[in-house]
Amino acid sequence: MISYSIVIPVKDEAESIPTLYKEIKEVFDKLNRQYEIIFIDDGSTDKSSHIISTLQKTDRNINLVKFRANFGKSKALSAGFSETKGELIIIMDADLQDDPRDVLKLLTKIDDGYDLVSGWRKNRADSLTKRVSSYLFNRGTSFISGVKIHDFNCGLKAFKKEVADELFLHGELHRFIPVLAKKRKFKVTEIEVNNRPRKFGESKFGKLGIARGWKGMLDLLTAIFITDYLDKPAHFFGAIGLSFFSIGFLMDLYVSYIKLTTGTTQGRLPLLLAGVLFILLGIQLISTGLIAEMMSHYLSLRKKSSLR
b/e 104-140 (16+ beta carbons within 10 angstroms → b): ebbbebbeeebbbbbbbbeebebeeeeeebbeebbee
Q: What is the pTM of this model?
A: 0.79
Query: pLDDT (tens digit, 0 to 9) for every residue of the chain, 308 residues total?
Result: 889 999 999 999 999 999 999 999 999 998 889 999 999 999 999 999 999 999 999 999 999 999 999 999 999 999 999 999 999 999 999 999 999 999 999 999 999 999 999 999 988 877 777 788 888 888 888 888 889 999 998 999 999 999 999 988 888 889 999 999 999 999 999 999 999 888 776 665 555 444 555 666 777 888 888 777 777 888 889 999 999 999 999 999 999 998 888 888 778 889 999 999 999 999 999 999 899 888 877 777 776 665 45
C-alpha 45: how far from chain center: 26
Residue 124's pLDDT is 82
Residue 214's pLDDT is 63
Query: How far apart (Å, rounded) are the C-alpha atoms in residues 182 and 306?
Result: 30
Residue 177's pLDDT is 94
